[in-house]
A and B are shown apart, each in its own frame.
Chain A
Amino acid sequence: MYEGTIQDLIDELGRLPGVGPKSAQRIAFHILSADPADVTRLANALRKVKDLVRFCTVCFNVAESEQCRICRDARRTDEVLCVVEEPKDVVAIERTGEFRGRYHVLGGAINPLEGIGPDNLRIRELMQRLGSGAVRELILATDPNTEGEATATYLALMVKPMGIAVTRLASGLPVGGDLEYADEITLGRAFEGRRAV
């Protein structure tokens, strides 16, 4: 244990995902010995992300205004809607360049072990969007693991009776994985080869 301020910083860093006590200590001492300008920049970035970034009121992607860049883009089609778990999945799919429709970010996947059910995800909001009638195809791009598959099945059961085509990314994605870790080519191919469920 260190004294006061430095231990406070180690404790805070240690609460971040993927940062264990040893890394927290290493980062804290790195910050302590770093150039003050660098540290100020980091502190500003941290403060600004909380002040300026919010969630898009339409798709729940991260945004710097009421709506995100993708929802505001008039060149994209409203007819195809792609459902993902997290904002980082939007980034991964955008990188492939395959997709010109809109997104809906659920904020996770159905996961009873973590107490996450449909009510904890933005599924009600998704149903409202689909109710407008503009969407003709819903692409389920949840992660190819147990929880992502369950979420996709759940949504397919709800949406299919509405007469909207429901598709799932083609296999070939690493099973049990995270969408964000799929490389662009694999993910792009999975997108192109999506099939009805």
Chain B
Amino acid sequence: MYVRRLELVNFRSYERVELEFDPGASVLVGPNGVGKTNLVEALGYVATLGSHRVATDAPLVRAGAASAVIRCEIVHDGRELLVELEIVPGKANRARLGRSPVRRAREVLGALRLVLFAPEDLELVRGDPAERRRYLDDLLVARLPRFGGVRADYDRVVKQRNALLRSAYLARKTGGSRGGDLSTLDVWDAHLARHGAELLAGRLELVAALTPHVAKAYDAVAAGKGAAGIAYRPSLELAEPAPNRDALEAALHAALAEARQSEVERGVTLVGPHRDDLTLSLGPLPAKGYASHGESWSYALALRLAAYDLLRADGIEPVLALDDVFAELDAGRRERLADLVSGASQLLVTCAVAEDVPAELRGARYQVREGEARRAG
């Protein structure tokens, strides 16, 4: 799969920009702050309906504009697909697939499979569990787009359940009776267990499939220094081996019943996949808090490369984007990375200095200047 054309209107720093790409490597060159990451961020948005840099959509819309448009032509198995997204902060995005509008933006998930590695990924190793959950869920959706719906449904149930617990908590604190009604909590428990079990089953299956790829990728990036292991850490006890979806639903239901009192006391949902984590280890030690800066970088890179390998093993040829990565790597790791990714059906690399990119990856070259980008050779 490859992106043949990208057009942005009022996205980030671009009033309007249009770029055409070929399969194989493309290098986007320009000084810091001119808008290189903004371009790959737009592709990331098409692939995941979210930004890898910000949690809300407002910063994606060019200052002063009301909405942003991303248009993207994707070639897959010789067929061409046009995806168009209009980002309207605070409202539902509008989307088109081909020439026809779709009911919900999430129907475009799966049209572009992208693995993006960016400096922000250091947070995968050093940051909060939310970063790692997002990593897993984005990959889950890239593999099986229907999980886009599962994830959205689950998030909505958690939001509603939290709102209910919160209003009861506030009502109790202020001594009033309004809003203190928990009669629907059983219903939310049932729905949380149902959607949560589906998401949990998907993640567990994903982690099992991903684990060997992470070990292999870390080994390749760090040239045999240290063994990387990942493990899913759920917020409830699970039997081994991981139970099926129905058993997970029952386990979640039971865990909610057990947590009920503390949840009511604290006014928040304490059990479910939104509280889970993916633990990363290097040899016998956890990566978080122990890994050096260089090891953390290698680890983050290994997680993305593993995602890329897994998708390829599934028969999906994703687009690979490496944002500002080579400047951070020493010469040895640059060469090893170049070997690992040079076979990508499409590789998009951004950098400030073209010479930082290993020669074998220097394909078509694009010059990025403030608010504009064009092909330079």
Q: Mark A172-185, 1 if CB is under 8 A from B, else 0.
A: 00111100010000
User: Does B179 belong to the interface (CB within 8 Å)?
Assistant: yes
Q: Are B160 and A118 in contact (CB under 8 A)?
A: no
- Interface size classification for chain A: 20 to 34
A-side binding surface: helix, strand, loop or mixed?
Answer: helix
Docked-complex contact B184 and A110, CB < 8 angstroms: yes
Asked whether B188 lies within 8 Å of A113 as measured between CB atoms, the reply is no
Residues of B within 8 A of A113 (CB): 159-160, 163
Could you tell me which residues of chain A, from 20 to 50, have a CB within 8 Å of some CB in chain B? Answer: none
A111:B160 contact, CB within 8 angstroms: yes
Q: Which residues of B contact A177 (CB under 8 A)?
A: 103-104
Question: In the assembled complex, which residues on chain A have CB atoms less than 8 Å from the CB atom of B156?
Answer: 146
- B24 CB–A CB distance under 8 Å: no
User: Are A147 and B160 in contact, CB atoms less than 8 angstroms apart?
Assistant: yes
B179 touches A150 (CB 8 A): no
**A153 in the interface, Cβ–Cβ < 8 Å?**
yes
Among B103, B157, B181, B187, residue most surrounded by chain A Cβ atoms (within 10 Å): B187
Please, which residue of chain A has its CB at the minimum distance from the CB of B191?
A150
In contact, B184 and A117 (Cβ under 8 angstroms): yes
Q: Which residues of A contact B247 (CB under 8 A)?
A: none
Chain B residues with CB below 8 A from A181, complex form = 103
Q: Which residues of B contact A125 (CB under 8 A)?
A: none
Known: A153-B187, A154-B184. A146 touches B160 (CB 8 A): yes
| In the complex, residue of chain B having the shortest beta-carbon distance to the beta carbon of A117 | B181
Is B50 part of the contact surface with A, judged by Cβ < 8 Å? no
* B161 surroundings in chain A (CB, below 8 A): 112
Contact of A112 with B190 at beta-carbon distance under 8 Å, contacts A118-B183, A176-B149 already known? no
Q: Is the C-beta of A3 less than 8 angstroms from some C-beta in chain B?
A: no
* CB-based nearest B residue for A175: B149
- B186 proximal to A (CB < 8 A): yes
Q: Which residues of A contact B183 (CB under 8 A)?
A: 117-118
Report how many A-B pairs have Cβ atoms within 8 Å: 51
The answer to whether B191 touches A115, judged by C-beta atoms less than 8 angstroms apart, is no
Distance of A64 Cα from B186 Cα, bound (Å) = 39
Question: Which range holds the interface residue count of chain B?
Answer: 20 to 34
User: Which chain A positions have C-beta within 8 A of B163?
Assistant: 112-113
A117 to B153, CA, bound (A): 20
B74 adjacent to chain A (CB < 8 Å): no
Q: Which residue on chain A has the smallest CB distance to residue B162?
A: A112
* B167 at interface by CB-CB < 8 Å: yes
Q: Residues of B contacting A117 with CB < 8 Å?
A: 179, 181, 183-184
Who on chain B is nearest to A114 by CB?
Answer: B163
Whether a CB of chain B sits under 8 angstroms from the CB of A157 is: yes
A117–B104 alpha-carbon span in the complex (Å): 27
B250 interface contact, C-beta 8 A? no
Are B157 and A146 interface neighbours, CB within 8 A? yes
In this assembly, does A137 line the interface, its C-beta being within 8 Å of a C-beta of chain B? no
| Chain B, residue nearest A177 (CB) | B103
Interface status of B197 (Cβ within 8 A of chain A): no
In the complex, chain B residues 63-98 whose Cβ is within 8 Å of any chain A Cβ = none
Determine the distance from Cα of A149 to Cα of B160 in the docked complex, in whole angstroms: 12
A119 adjacent to chain B (CB < 8 Å) = yes
For residue A159, give the distance in angstroms from its CB to the closest CB of chain B. 13
Closest to B153 in A: A146
Question: Whole-angstrom distance between the alpha carbons of A110 and B191 in the complex?
Answer: 13
Shortest Cβ distance from residue A173 to the other chain B in the assembled complex, whole angstroms: 11
**Partner among A111, A118, A153, A174 whose Cβ is within 8 Å of the Cβ of B190:** A153
- As a 0/1 sequence over residues 116 to 157 of chain A, the CB contacts with chain B under 8 angstroms (1 = contact) are 011100000000000000000000000000110110011001
Interface: B164 (CB within 8 A): yes
CA distance A114 to B163 in the complex (A): 9
The CA-CA distance from A149 to B184 in the complex, in Å, is 12
* In the complex, B259 has a CB within 8 A of chain A: no
B152 interfacial contact with A, CB 8 Å: yes
CA–CA, A147 and B159, complex, Å: 11
The residues of A that contact B149 with a CB separation of less than 8 Å are 175-176
Per-residue A-contact encoding for B149-173, CB less than 8 Å = 1, 0 else: 1001100110111011001000000
Counting from the closest, the 9 A-B pairs by CB-CB distance are A112-B164, A112-B163, A146-B156, A113-B163, A153-B187, A154-B187, A117-B181, A112-B160, A150-B187
A-B contact pairs, 29 of them (CB 8 A): A110-B187, A111-B160, A112-B160, A112-B163, A112-B164, A113-B159, A115-B167, A117-B181, A117-B183, A117-B184, A118-B181, A119-B181, A146-B153, A146-B156, A146-B160, A146-B191, A150-B157, A150-B160, A150-B184, A150-B187, A150-B191, A154-B184, A154-B187, A157-B186, A157-B187, A174-B103, A176-B153, A177-B104, A181-B103
Sample of 20 more A-B contacts, CB < 8 Å, known A117-B179, A117-B183, A153-B187 = A110-B187, A111-B160, A112-B160, A112-B167, A113-B160, A118-B183, A119-B181, A146-B153, A146-B157, A146-B160, A149-B191, A150-B160, A153-B190, A154-B187, A157-B187, A174-B103, A175-B149, A176-B153, A177-B103, A177-B104
